[in-house]
Amino acid sequence: MRFAKGHGTENDFVILPDLDGTLELTPELVRRLCDRRAGIGADGVLRVAPDTSGRAKWFMDYRNADGGVAEMCGNGVRVFARYLAEHGLAPGPVFGLATRAGVREVTLHDDGDVSVDMGAVRTYGESAATMAGRRYAGLVVNVGNPHLACVLTEPVAGLDLSAAPEFDAATFPEGANLELVRLLGDDHVEMRVYERGSAETRSCGTGTVAAAVAVAGSAYGTWRVDVPGGTVRVTLTEETVYLRGPAVLVAEGEYRPH
């Protein structure tokens, strides 16, 4: 089984080219691939498959490290686009990709960044979660997948993200990503994230969008979001949201199922 390995601000993925759409990607296989000791190691898996809906040429089949299906992944879209471009599968520097959250237009920039039109973001008021014995209140944000973005006044570096958060089941029946956010200055925030199905990760693209929305409120503009794995920029407009950041391929090879 051929694979590639890539990351966006150290949110890392195993990429599986399935150009004829015949690979059976089971939860067990995803878990083995993402195992950092007995597998390749990753926060999730990106299967490159033909889009059978006619919306785009390629479909990003994204799975979290626990094998669960996810609707959207902002860092994953950028890495997916980088893979297509470097393997001659992309029609140009600007093209659309099909995801479970809809088609996302991506742009590959000369400096190595990839930007994604993330579409309209929806907010649904406030909720709260408990993690490691502490309660966090925040804004419910949908970026194609569910988030609870909590704006804090203290540095996020010392917070305990070792345990899975407990959410309000009525608000998040299928769980959510939890972002802990602090304002650092004008249009500048820092963030850590506990991702549904993957535990704490070094970055979360949709999470950075949720963080910017939670801090910005109804204001528009571009926000710098610092995460443990690097920096991305989120531009909020009246119609949509753009996410821009690096996307890097680090290895390719052959996986031996076991």
126 and 230 share one domain: yes
User: Residue 222 is part of a domain; what is its CATH number?
Assistant: 3.10.310.10
Q: d(Cα 247, Cα 258) in Å, to the nearest integer?
A: 30
Query: Which amino acid, residue 81?
Result: A
**HSE-CB of 91 using CA atoms within 13 angstroms:** 9
Secondary element (H or E) of residue 61:
strand 58-64
pLDDT digits (tens, 9 = 90+) for 46-71: 999 999 999 999 999 999 999 999 99
99 and 155 share one domain: no
pLDDT digits (tens, 9 = 90+) for 200-212: 999 999 999 999 9
Radius of gyration of the chain (CA): 17
Dig out the tokens for 4 from the structure.
């590639």
**pLDDT tens for the 258 residues of the chain, in order:** 999 999 999 999 999 999 999 999 999 999 999 999 999 999 999 999 999 999 999 999 999 999 999 999 999 999 999 999 999 999 889 999 999 999 999 999 999 999 999 999 999 999 999 999 999 999 999 999 999 999 999 999 999 999 999 999 999 999 999 999 999 999 999 999 999 999 999 999 999 999 999 999 989 999 999 999 999 999 999 999 999 999 999 999 999 987
Catalytic positions are 73, 204
Instruction: Dump strand ranges (E) for 73-162.
Output: 94-99, 102-108, 113-119, 122-131, 134-142, 146-152
Q: Please tell me the predicted confidence (pLDDT) of residue 257.
A: 80
- The domain in which residue 129 lies consists of 122-238
75 and 163 share one domain: no
Instruction: Say which residue the tokens 């088609």 belong to.
Output: 103
138 and 101 share one domain: no
Q: Please tell me the predicted confidence (pLDDT) of residue 91.
A: 84
Number of independent structural domains in the chain: 2
106 and 126 share one domain: no
φ/ψ of residue 238, rounded to 5: -70, -30
The pTM assigned to this predicted structure is 0.95
173 and 144 share one domain: yes
The DSSP 8-state label assigned to residue 252 in this structure reads: E
Q: Please tell me the predicted confidence (pLDDT) of residue 247.
A: 98
Q: d(Cα 202, Cα 43) in Å, to the nearest integer?
A: 9
173 and 84 share one domain: no
128 and 234 share one domain: yes
